[in-house]
Amino acid sequence: MEHVTTSRGDTVGYERRGEGPAVVLVAGAGPFRAIDPQTSETAGLLAERGFTTVVHDRVGRADSFREGRVDLADELAAIAALVELAGGRATLCGHSSGCAIALRAATDGLPVDGLVLFEAPLDPAAGGVPEWTAELYRLLDAGDRAGAVAH
């Protein structure tokens, strides 16, 4: 495991494997490397097939822990740092909320060569996102981490 510091000052823990075109895997909101063997296994298989893979703990989790709220700018700074260390360009492989981060990174002009998105939480007909987010932050601010995860 290695660490990189983002432009926003966060320390991000990651594992890099293989050599070749880069793939940065962006997990969903809940998992991190220690409890997500499928992502690590996928990264290993890609590395065996000639890719550089980077699997990281998203900001605020496990080996990328820090106190306080994590916002999209923090997540994008982490992706930018990981893409840079992987060679300056990468395909982003996102799962769940990691898809939204990967999409935003690509639309914000990060050097993204491609996107692989699995279970993207994108439904233009869905309502209630501001209310859902407000409740999530209420639970977090109250220190109810279990309630936030359940929500």
What are the pLDDT tens digits along the chain (151 aa)? 999 999 999 999 999 999 999 999 999 888 888 888 889 999 999 999 999 999 999 999 999 999 988 999 999 999 999 999 999 999 999 999 999 999 999 999 999 999 999 988 877 667 777 787 788 889 888 988 888 878 7
Whole-model pTM: value is: 0.83
The answer on 21 and 55 residing in a single domain is yes
The answer on 132 and 112 residing in a single domain is no
CA atoms of 88 and 65, how far apart (whole Å) = 25
The answer on 136 and 69 residing in a single domain is no
Helix axes 72-85, 97-107, angle to 10 degrees: 70
The answer on 138 and 66 residing in a single domain is no
Cα dihedral 139, 7, 103, 27 sign = negative
The answer on 70 and 143 residing in a single domain is no
Look at residue 31 in the predicted model and tell me its pLDDT: 83
- The domain in which residue 137 lies consists of 124-151
The answer on 142 and 96 residing in a single domain is no
The answer on 27 and 49 residing in a single domain is yes
The answer on 104 and 61 residing in a single domain is yes
Number of CB atoms found within 10 A of residue 73's CB: 13
The total domain count for the chain is 2
Dump the DSSP string for 103-135: HHHHHTT--EEEEEEES----TT---HHHHHHH
Per the CB < 8 A criterion, the answer to whether 105 and 35 are in contact is no
The answer on 139 and 73 residing in a single domain is no
Per the CB < 8 A criterion, the answer to whether 102 and 92 are in contact is yes
Radius of gyration of the chain (CA): 15
Look at residue 124 in the predicted model and tell me its pLDDT: 65
* 106: CATH: 3.40.50.1820
Cα 96 to Cα 41, 48, 101, 136: the distances in Å are: 18, 25, 9, 17
